[in-house]
Every structure is written in C-alpha cells, then in structure tokens.
C-alpha cells in the first residue's frame, strides 16, 4: 500500500511540475498518418469475447461511413493496462500509449484525478444526458466528461426456477423481496433440493458493493477520497447480511472464476446475484435452457434508501490527450455515443448491454430470451440500469476492500463486534489513504 501511495505522490508532483498534458514522443504511433490518406488510432481493451468483440462491431460500423480511419485494436489484460497507464502517465510521456483505452468504472477516478491532463474531454462528442445517470459520476471529473460510458454493470438475481418450484416458490414470489426474505427462501430451497443457494469467494466482497450501492452508499464519501466506513448504516447492514448468509449455511465457497461458473453449470448452486455480464456463463449449460429466470435485486431490509437495482463492474472508453485525439473522440462519439443500430448488434452478437438510453427502443432490447423461459431479460436489465443509484467510486475502492474489509470481514465472522469492526476499518483507511 505504501508503494502505491508513493507512486501516486510521485505522479502528482510530476503533474504539478507540468502545466500542460504529458509530452508527446516521436516514437508514439497513436494518431499517425499511414501515408495512404488514412489516419490511424489505437485502442486498448481486455476480454476478446466481450470488449474486443464489441470494438470490432464498432470498428465495422464506423468504417462503413468513415473509410479513411484505420483502427487498430490491441488486447491487453486489464491489470496490464492499469500498470502501463500508470507507468506512462507518471513518467510524463505518451510514448506507447493508445488513443483510446477501456477503464473499469471502479478505477476511473484514480486516473482522472491524478492525471487529469492526460485525458481528452469528450463532451462535444456525446450527449451525457443520453447515458445512465450512475455512469456519469465515474466518467467525469471537475465538471468535465472524459469517458464515453460503455457496458452496464447492472445486477440481477439469477435463479433456477425448477429448484424454486421444488421449494414451493415461483419467480413471481421473488419480485419485491429484501435480503432477509432472500435468505429464508434460500434455506427452503436447500432443504427441498439439497442445493446451495449461493456461491461466494471469501476474498471477493463484490456482494457488499452491490448491497451498499443499492442504498446510494459507498466505501468513500462524496469527495471520493475520504473513507466512509464507521457509522455507514448501509455498510453495517451489508456486513450483517453477509454473516447471516454464511451462518445460514446456504452458500458454497469458490476460489476462482472457473469454480464459480462450474457451480452453476453443474447444477449444484441455485442462484447468483451479479452483473448482467454473467448471462453468457449461465447460458453455457445448454441442458439448463428454460430453467432460469432473472428477477430484481433484493433490497436492504432496514434501509429506506435501498432499491431493487445496483451495479457490479462495468467500464467506459477514454480518449488520451495524444495526437489523434480528435479522430478518436469522433470515433467513440459516432459509435458508442450515438449508433442505436450498433447497440442492437452488441446485444445479439456479444451479449453486451450498454448504458446508452436510446438503444432501449431497439428490437434487440425487446426480444424474448428462450433460455430464460421467454423472458425479455435485456429490457429488464435496461430498466434496472435506469434505477441504479449514482455514487462516487472514488480513488480507493479496491485499496479499502482488498487490504482492509476482507480482513475485517473475517474478524467479524469470527465474533468481533460489528461496530468495532467498522471503527477499526475506518482507522486503517484514514491512515492508509491520506
């Protein structure tokens, strides 16, 4: 953690010494002219079956009207992108950096606030009001829009309808429930079927993020820098709910992504609360077609601000302040920022549900999904996207969760008082993220 803070301090000092954007280097190929009349831009993203596939659809759509722009898409692991951006931006040079980069929403502010001059505002290329409100917080800084929102991380409750029926329930019984009711249903399902209700990774507290955002709360205050742990009512209830799930013995434990997916595909787990991007993983089990439904997120039982909608993950596109930035911004503006037809193809070919509001009126968003019993799942997710509370993910989401809350959660599960847990977490956060 100290190394991370040292890097951030060094980065801020370097930026303070430079009144303009990072200097360009002649070796940077971004935004170059290819000598054939075509300008070239480069884009970094991860996940070939999702983000890269979406980019290729956007590339083809743009080329149909703008054949003079060459778009090079380069796959990098997300962690590699984070490292390369930090290294390049902290050095004050743009050498080797792309024109466009995909950044996870949880991480965006740690770049925008530390390296604001490294990014190019895109307000002239999009209409911010046409995107889901909750996506505008992570993509903006100091009153400027720097990101073009991409996929919605909107969550839902995926549930096996056949297991529900064995316990005497239907999806209709799951439409307006709280977490206490969710746990009670899970107990009945396990009793009736022998199947675990959930699967959870003890080192990943994504379910806490889902719970607290549903109440418009986060690990950080509105400034995105100050920890908000002690006295955070939503977080306290989320901790208590997590413990209730564990003590109810309705959750299977997994340690990695492949184990998580296997728990559903082999039929050993009945439900999952997660982002809509999990749909293809559920559908990978062909023999389970017609046995799943997606219902609204449970809301916190004792928090009046909690709603049946939240987010997990999600990312957005950013233009770097390097040669070719105008062409890059135009590319994003005319594809992810405007092309309704393209968004229909993203849904049908990739399964990517964007956060662009006008796309909801397209046919692909209204089409039934036979795997989910004919449910209009894309339309449902789009409606829930509009209800997700807007919060400031700030600079330290992962630092607080991975190095503090994961440990304190285990302390809580082992008997430590919840108020003391959050008080100690607050002290640690205050000391580490100054």
Distance CA 43, CA 317 (A): 9
| Matching residue, tokens 């908000």 | 228
Distance CA 284, CA 221 (A): 39
Distance CA 152, CA 356 (A): 9
DSSP conformation letters of 119-168: B---TTTS-GGGB-HHHHTTTEETTEE-EEE-B--BEEEEEEHHHHHHTT
DSSP conformation letters of 362-407: SHHHH--BGGGTTB-HHHHHHHHHTTPPP----S-HHHHIIIIIHH
CB 260 within 8 A of CB 158: no
What is the enclosing helix (H) or strand (E) of 156? strand 155-160
Q: What is the pLDDT of residues 137-165, one digit of tens each?
A: 999 999 999 999 999 999 999 999 999 99
Distance CA 274, CA 278 (A): 7
Distance CA 349, CA 346 (A): 5
Distance CA 311, CA 347 (A): 18
DSSP conformation letters of 62-110: HHHH-TTEEEEEEE--HHHHHHHHHHHHHHTB-TT--SEEEEEHHHHHH
| C-beta neighbour count of 3 within 10 angstroms | 7
CB 214 within 8 A of CB 381: no
∠ CA 374-376-295 to the nearest 5 degrees? 95
- pLDDT at residue number 93: 79
Residues 6 or more apart whose Cβ sits within 8 Å of residue 279? 294, 351, 377
Q: In DSSP terms, which residues pair with 149 in a beta bridge?
A: 316
HSE (side-chain half, CA atoms, 13 Å) at 161 = 16
pLDDT tens across the length of the chain (434 residues):
334 444 343 344 333 333 334 444 333 455 565 555 679 999 999 999 899 999 999 999 999 999 999 999 999 999 999 999 999 999 887 789 999 999 999 999 999 999 999 999 999 999 999 999 999 999 999 999 999 999 999 999 999 999 999 999 999 999 999 999 999 999 999 999 999 999 999 999 999 999 999 999 999 999 999 999 999 999 999 999 999 999 999 999 999 999 999 999 999 999 999 999 999 999 999 999 999 999 999 999 999 999 999 999 999 999 999 999 999 999 999 999 999 999 999 999 999 999 999 999 999 999 999 999 999 999 999 999 999 999 999 999 999 999 999 999 999 999 999 999 999 999 999 999 86
Residues 6 or more apart whose Cβ sits within 8 Å of residue 418? 236, 239, 240, 412
Q: Is 128 helix (H, G, I), strand (E, B) or coil?
A: helix
Overall pTM surpassing 0.85 (yes/no): yes
- pLDDT at residue number 37: 62
């Amino acid at each position: 953690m100290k190394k991370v803070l040292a890097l951030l301090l060094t980065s801020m000092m370097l930026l303070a010494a430079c009144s303009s954007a990072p200097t360009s280097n002649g070796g940077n190929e971004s935004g170059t002219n290819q000598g054939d009349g075509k300008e070239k831009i480069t884009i970094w993203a991860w996940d070939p079956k999702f983000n890269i596939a979406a980019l290729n659809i956007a590339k083809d759509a743009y080329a149909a009207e703008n054949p003079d722009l060459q778009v090079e898409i380069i796959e990098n692991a997300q962690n590699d992108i984070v490292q390369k951006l930090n290294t390049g931006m902290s050095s004050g040079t743009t050498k080797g950096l792309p024109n466009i980069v995909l950044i996870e929403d949880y991480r965006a502010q740690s770049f925008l606030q530390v390296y604001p001059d490294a990014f190019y505002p895109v307000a002239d290329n999009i209409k911010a009001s046409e995107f889901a409100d909750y996506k505008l917080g992570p993509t903006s800084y100091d009153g400027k829009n720097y990101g073009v929102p991409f996929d919605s991380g909107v969550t839902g409750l995926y549930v096996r309808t056949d297991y529900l029926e064995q316990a005497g329930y239907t999806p209709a019984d799951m439409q307006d429930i709280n977490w206490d009711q969710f746990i009670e249903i899970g107990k009945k399902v396990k009793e009736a079927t022998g199947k675990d209700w959930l699967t959870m990774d003890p080192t990943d507290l994504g379910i806490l993020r889902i719970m607290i955002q549903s109440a418009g709360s986060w690990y950080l205050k509105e400034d995105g820098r100050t920890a908000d742990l002690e006295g955070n009512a939503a977080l306290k209830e989320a901790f208590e709910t997590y413990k209730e799930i564990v003590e109810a013995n309705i959750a299977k434990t997994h340690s990695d992504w492949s184990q998580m997916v296997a728990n559903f595909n082999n039929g050993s787990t009945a439900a999952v609360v997660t982002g809509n991007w999990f749909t293809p993983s559920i559908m990978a089990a062909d023999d389970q077609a017609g046995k799943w439904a997606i219902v609204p997120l449970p809301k916190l039982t004792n928090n009046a601000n909690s709603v049946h909608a939240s987010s997990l993950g999600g990312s957005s596109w950013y233009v770097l302040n390097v040669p070719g930035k105008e062409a890059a911004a135009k590319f994003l503006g005319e594809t992810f920022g405007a092309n309704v037809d393209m968004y229909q193809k993203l849904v049908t070919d990739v399964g990517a549900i964007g956060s662009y509001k006008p796309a909801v009126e397209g046919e692909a968003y209204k089409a039934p999904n036979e795997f989910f019993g004919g449910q209009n799942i894309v339309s449902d997710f789009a409606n829930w996207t509009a209800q997700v509370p807007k919060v400031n993910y700030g600079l330290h989401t992962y630092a607080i969760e991975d190095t503090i809350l994961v440990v304190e959660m285990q302390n809580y599960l082992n008997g430590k008082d919840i108020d003391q847990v959050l008080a100690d977490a607050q002290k640690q956060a205050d000391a580490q993220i100054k």
